Amino acid sequence: MGLAVDRLELGPIGTNTYVVRGSETAGEAVVVDPSGDAETIVGVLDARSARCAAILVTHGHFDHIVSLADLAAETGAPVYAPAVEEAVFADPSLFSIPGFTVKPAQPDNWLEGGETVVAAGISFAVTSVPGHSPGHLAYYADARLFSGDVLFAGSVGRTDFPGADWNVLQASIASLLDAYPPETVVYPGHGPETTLGAELQRNPFLGELRAARIAE
């Protein structure tokens, strides 16, 4: 049957927040990248009769953590986040936009990549994928990859932010292509889902990676 995934476009720039359950009837869920307001996310959890068992954060850019502090307080769910970006969670204004305030948050578990997070009966493999941000993480479970802002349908993460690096981002995407099969469904931080194979074939920003694999 596979995972049940609800995608919510929330917050000031339409960031994807995901409510992930082990099945359509599961009574627990994991929330990935809580943007928008906590009430909207809790409303989806209530509609699914699911308790929030954990909150996973891919990176500390403001739009991915808009409701993190409120959702953690309301649900009591443990928060997992990238250790490299600890300072951003303490002061979200480091990666915010003028006039938009995000509450500081204190994650319960700091991740570096290579760990496995088990929550709501789901096992998430944690992969370090820097480039868009210094400590960016991706979470893989049951042939689904929650990629944050590393890889999108037809695009990739921006590298004009402090701490971002184009070559590092390309290496991170290559590591995902090597680690997971092409049919892996990618749930990105913005826009619709895609697959790793589809992006390798046609993403205009992956031309070098395509050429390298053809040459192998």
The reported pLDDT for the residue numbered 42 is 98
Q: Strand, helix or coil at 197?
A: helix
Alpha carbon 73 to its chain centroid, in Å, reads 20
- Stretch 203-207: mean pLDDT: 96
Number of domains in the chain: 1
Contact 180, 186 (CB under 8 A): no
Residue range(s) defining the domain that contains residue 203: 4-215
Give the CATH number for residue 117. 3.60.15.10
Q: Which of 30, 49, 41 is nearest to 8 (CA)?
A: 41
> Which pLDDT belongs to residue 1?
61
pLDDT band at 215 (very low <50, low <70, confident <90, very high): low
- The predicted-structure confidence for 89-118, as pLDDT tens digits, reads as follows 999 988 777 778 899 999 999 999 999 999
Mean pLDDT of 31-51: 98
- pLDDT tens track for 143-175: 999 999 999 999 999 999 989 999 999 999 999
pLDDT in tens, 72-90: 999 999 999 999 999 999 9
Give the residue among 134, 126, 96, 129 at the shortest CA–CA distance from 109: 126
